[in-house]
Amino acid sequence: MIYVPAIDRGRPSTMEIALTVPRHSHTVLRYSFDKGFLKYTEHPPDANRGFNIGPAIVSYVVDSTPDSGLEQAPLYCTSSNNRVSNGACVVRVYSELFLANLATPDFSMPYNVITFTCTILALFFGRIFNLLTRDFAILDVEKEEAKSTKTE
């Protein structure tokens, strides 16, 4: 068994297992992994869809020699690329992609923060501008009342 652990944002993990499986047997391999958190820039355009995890690749050797019990070589063994020694050929089978759902951040949060911050700054600027441009004067209430009574 060869296992190469993953490096964050560098390479995926790889596991190679060499098994000898008898004919008509059933083998189950399970691989568990932890969901990680991504940076907001690493999410795809539709982050709610999930992330594709690559397929598993299973390679096995088929004996296609005349004494193997096969009447003729299988179609996938006709290529010279798949041949190995003694008339056997290597067959690769790919599993389906796996769609993993990871934690999805709230992408509207930056908008909410910017809106809230701009509102606070506008209120602060409005108050300061109002204080700087307003003309303040001291009123004497007794003089004002005396003026208003004289004019009547």
pLDDT tens per residue, the chain (152 residues)? 888 988 887 888 888 888 888 878 888 888 777 767 777 777 777 767 877 888 888 887 776 555 555 555 555 565 555 555 666 777 788 888 888 877 777 777 888 899 999 999 999 999 999 988 988 788 777 777 777 776 66
Query: What is the Cα 89 distance to its own chain's centre?
Result: 38
Give pLDDT, residue 128: 92
Q: Supply angle C-alpha 14, 103, 29, rounded to 5.
A: 30
Torsion angle of C-alpha atoms 49, 37, 114, 47, degrees rounded to 10: -10
Give pLDDT, residue 80: 58
Residue pair 99/55 in contact by the 8 Å Cβ criterion: no
* Nearest CA-CA partner of 13 in 22, 1, 21: 1
Rounded to two decimals, the pTM is 0.48
